[in-house]
Amino acid sequence: MAEWVFDRNGEAQIIWDGDCFRSAAGKVIGWIHGNGAYALSGRHVACFDGGVLYDTNNFVIGFRAGARGLLPSRPVLGRLPDSMPGFEDKPDRPGLARVIGRPGFSGWSPIRLARFFR
């Protein structure tokens, strides 16, 4: 079942759909494999661990409502969109790059979740 991923302000921005992330419009914008998050090209861009999306510097970009991963703070969640968008078909999945090591926990990322995979 797909779930919204929230930004540092508690706003629903993108969708976690099992093996991929989708935009708020339902388009696939990134891949998930293990605890790695990948651009559509297959380049490793983040870690997705315990429902929390961390950038390559281990700053938090976003989180699922039931996230168990480490958050610098847990914002109040805003109102969810009235419904999930229609989902476009998934494109072919590329070969995925290896996951790089993670530095220590760093707090909130300055990167906006809605623009992260662009």
Residue with tokens 């929390």: 52
pLDDT digits (tens, 9 = 90+) for 93-105: 999 888 777 777 7
- Please tell me the pTM assigned to this model: 0.90
Core vs surface per residue 80-90: b (16+ CB within 10 A) or e? eeeebeeeeee
Domain boundaries, the chain: 3-115
pLDDT digits (tens, 9 = 90+) for 24-70: 999 999 999 999 999 999 999 999 999 999 998 899 999 999 999 88
Spatial CB neighbours of 11, under 8 Å, sequence gap ≥ 6: 78
Q: With 80 as the cut, is the pLDDT of residue 6 above it?
A: yes
Tell me, what's the pLDDT at 41? 93
Tell me, what's the pLDDT at 103? 74
pLDDT digits (tens, 9 = 90+) for 75-94: 999 999 989 999 999 999 99
